Amino acid sequence: MTIREGALGTIQRQIQWNRLIAVVEEQAQTMIRTAFSTTVREAGDLSAGIFDLEGRMLAQAVTGTPGHVNSMAESVAHFLAKFPAATMRPGDHYITNDPWLATGHLHDLTVVSPAFHRGRIVGLFANTAHIIDIGGLGMGPEGRSVFEEGLYIPIVKCFEAGRPNDTFFDFIRAGSRTPVELEGDIYSLCACNDAGAKRLVAMMDEYGMEGLDGLAEYIFDASLKATQAAIAALPRGTWRAEIRSDGYEAPVTLQAAMTLHEDRVVVDYAGTSGLSTRGINVPPAYCRAYSCFGIKCVVAPEIPNNWASLKPFEMVIPEGCILNAPRPYPVSVRHVVGQLLPDLMMGCLAQAVPDRVNAEGSSALWNPPLRGGAQVSGQAAEVEDFEIITFNSGGTGARPGKDGLSGIAFPSGVRTMPVEATENVAPVIFWRKELRPDSAGAGRTRGGFGQIMEIGAKNDAEFAVNAIFDRVANPPKGRFEGGNGAAGWVGLDDPNGTVLRTKGFQTIPKGRHLLLKLPGGGGYGDPRARDRALVERDVADGLVSPEAARRLYGHDGV
């Protein structure tokens, strides 16, 4: 079957595009179904996509996170710089976790694999997944350089012509607290690229395609024109916004000046705080990833995400600021600052298109890395050694026409992990996991509610948390008279309500539990304009107290 000219050809290209989305989604689903780490199979903290031989992303899977996808969109070119496409052979798989060549920290593995059709390389499949442990200090902000944060993998072959690189896997197993999970995840990443390549070959045979160049040209041309048209419909001008993070040594200020041109959007981060001595720094690719996502959610949400649709978004990131960390600065928890960027982008766009932005949300994930056993308690350990991380979210910001979402990840997109999945693989118990009343910012549309989580070890044994939390000193702000969401809180379940630090390694003593109160999302618009029936519903559900309803909405909701 060959492509004809005119309308029929366009229809066939669109069908091929839809098939390509199905190919990369099967790629992602293969990873989820074969992964060893709960971060992948339960939370979906991954990305998957197909690229042309110049390293340009054609399509991404529906499943995945923007921090991974948009960083991965840059990373394939780095693989090609070291291993040109002409040197690749069937069964080769290449891997790295270099934060500056991939997705921003060592806990993300990126694998790139060639796809061959009738003996000729036609494209590249790439994926990224967050793994539980990569050695070093573990996932947390305590490192003072990237070399303390874990095993640093340059771009190397992990499989050659279908055969595993035994030396590589020896190093990997020796450097991790969870060697079985780590090795299994790498096999999973390679298998998912193979699945994508198999489906691509079947698609090309069905449509009589010799290569992907024609389809790539169609995708890129349509995506770029549509994105530029969406930008052209915006008002011209420059808008500024600011957002604050709790930081580590001191609060962090993120400043942005966004200029809307006729065919592109330029964001300048001049005025942003300088680098941290700890692992909250953000490599520039991760900054660009979440900045582009925040803009795209408002400006061009319906346009597919690929190389061409990302091209009109430009970032100016000054050297020496926390969003442009150079090697070898620590970057392990770059998401704590980086996931605030979509809210910052919406702060700028709220002044240009106020009816298209959300209020601020809890933003950064609350994903406590937990550790226990002899590595925490020594010979007094009462549980076996474990290393686990569980992904959870506060509330998202209110939308112009809808309430915010409760306990849902934005902007990361990962799923909240079932407590049963975590309890099944580690000696921990979740004593409470429930929505947090009165945490949503009031408004004509209210924010989403945060959560309350209470976590202990089995037998109430001692364990540790490597805290990576934010939005405690700086709660999510409402927009256009909407109220702020509730600030987060980190502490113990003791009668005194002992407060813990929001970042850093801390021990939970025997007999005590870790208590987390996740932030709520900000509200949108005047709370007094909220539909009375909606307030009554929230009061009846126990999510808003009658006292808060009277104070914020002008009636008790009863």
- Residues ≥6 apart with Cβ < 8 Å to 84: none
pLDDT value of position 7: 76
pLDDT value of position 10: 85
Listing from the earlier edge strand, what are the strands of the sheet with 252-260?
237-245, 252-260, 265-268, 313-316
Over residues 123-135, the pLDDT tens digits come to 999 999 999 999 9
Q: Is 418 exposed, middle or buried (CB count within 10 Å of its CB: 0-12, 13-18, 19+)? A: middle
- pTM for the complete prediction? 0.95
Q: How confident is the model at residue 5 (pLDDT cuts 50, 70, 90)?
A: low
Q: How far apart are CA 209 and CA 201, in angstroms?
A: 9
DSSP 8-state symbol, 444: S
Partnered with residue 180 across adjacent β-strands are none
Q: How confident is the model at residue 555 (pLDDT cuts 50, 70, 90)?
A: confident
| 434 has pLDDT over 80 | yes
pLDDT value of position 1: 43
CB 159 within 8 A of CB 92: yes
pLDDT value of position 57: 97
Mean per-residue pLDDT for 94-113?
Answer: 97
Q: How far apart are CA 126 and CA 94, in angstroms?
A: 9
Over residues 518-550, the pLDDT tens digits come to 999 999 999 999 999 999 999 999 999 999 999
Out of 193-197, 277-281, 381-385, 413-417, pick the least confident. 413-417
pLDDT value of position 61: 93
Q: How confident is the model at residue 31 (pLDDT cuts 50, 70, 90)?
A: very high
Q: Is 325 exposed, middle or buried (CB count within 10 Å of its CB: 0-12, 13-18, 19+)? A: buried
